Amino acid sequence: MPYAVVVGVDGSEPSTAAAEWAAQEAYRSGRPLRLLHAGDASSPAPGEADRGDEPLPPSVLATRDHIASVLPGLELTCEHVPGNPADALVAAGGRNDLLVLGSRGLGGFAGLLVGSVSLRVVGHANCPVVVVRAGAEGQDGGAEDVVLGLDSDQACPDVIAFAFEQAAARGATLRVLESQKVPAGPYSAEGVVYQPEVREALEAGELMRLQEALAPWREKHPEVRVQAELTAWSAGRALVEASRSACLTVVGRRRPRLHPAAPWLGSVAHAVLHHAHSPVAVVPHD
């Protein structure tokens, strides 16, 4: 069975947006789509119990039926799983599926951009997790870039591969950003060298290291146009700003080594999740 796109649904506006995003992703990649309602079940809609369906909320069933009508060729299942929603979603995603979540659910506080369930899933999941916010700018089809935040000193193959695959599947430009502050100087040298020339040489060297980190994936995906950039801004600020023109923003999350079951979400991923203007993919790596 091919790896699935698993999306958490609860009838809220963000979860409906997540389900629609996940459906398009599943259709594009040829994967089955699993709509997963976790937690307490509600009474079935009239007539649903007669068909032997799980006691799913009417709003979830409406989402399922809408997706089935728009994408009739999509392999689609919809199920209820009892228990803690975050734990159920993490377990459903396994290590190789793709998890998709709304930024917050029905039980979230209106002032929170990303709810506690979504943050817990992102911090625990062993597979990539995409968080979708209803009304995000990258969901209307007009955005053209997949944006990737990268540290060339710790280039993570899983994160880079995911970003390249997403860009290739969408026919999008992959915009790679690295936050790198070149020392302002003054610089010392044995000969007579102008200070701006030293700074330009240092910046060129850093950009070359970034290009070298991307080289294996550029060879594998020659069809992907790559735009590699250095920025003096903090990584979080640069990625949030770049997400304005992105259809997807990709960041990594390191798996804890000492306590693998413990959640870990770095400051960059945390900032991007809360403030990005596009859906955000968080990819775990060792």
Residue 140 domain-assigned?
no
Q: pLDDT band at 73, cuts 50/70/90?
A: very high
Is residue 120 classed as helix, strand or coil in its secondary structure? Answer: helix
Q: Which residues contact 227 (CB under 8 A, 6 or more apart)?
A: 145, 173, 174, 175, 176
Q: Output the domain CATH number for residue 190.
A: 3.40.50.12370
In terms of domains, do 11 and 54 share one? Answer: yes
Q: pLDDT band at 50, cuts 50/70/90?
A: very low
Q: pLDDT band at 96, cuts 50/70/90?
A: confident
Q: What pLDDT, on a 0 to 100 scale, did the predictor assign at position 234?
A: 92
Which residue segment(s) compose the domain that 40 sits in?
5-135
Average pLDDT value for residue range 256-273: 74
Is the torsion defined by CA of 266, 269, 273, 279 positive or negative? negative
In terms of domains, do 187 and 220 share one? Answer: yes
In terms of domains, do 55 and 165 share one? Answer: no
Q: What is the pLDDT of residues 173-203, one digit of tens each?
A: 999 999 976 555 555 555 445 456 555 665 7
Average pLDDT value for residue range 156-178: 96
Domains identified in the chain, total number: 2
In terms of domains, do 187 and 221 share one? Answer: yes
Identify the helix (H) or strand (E) that includes residue 45.
Answer: none
Reported residue count of the chain is 286
> Comparing 146 with 209, which gets the higher pLDDT?
146
In terms of domains, do 129 and 164 share one? Answer: no
Which of 135, 163, 179 terminates a domain? The answer is 135
How much is the pTM?
0.85
Residue 182 domain-assigned?
yes
> Comparing 253 with 135, which gets the higher pLDDT?
253
Residue 86 domain-assigned?
yes
In terms of domains, do 234 and 103 share one? Answer: no
Give percent of the chain with pLDDT exceeding 90. 58
Mean pLDDT of the chain: 83
Average pLDDT value for residue range 277-282: 95
In terms of domains, do 199 and 161 share one? Answer: yes
In terms of domains, do 120 and 156 share one? Answer: no
Which of 68, 100, 135 terminates a domain? The answer is 135
Q: What pLDDT, on a 0 to 100 scale, did the predictor assign at position 51?
A: 41
Q: Output the domain CATH number for residue 48.
A: 3.40.50.620
In terms of domains, do 236 and 175 share one? Answer: yes
Q: Which two tokens stand for residue 238?
A: 């640069």
In terms of domains, do 281 and 149 share one? Answer: yes
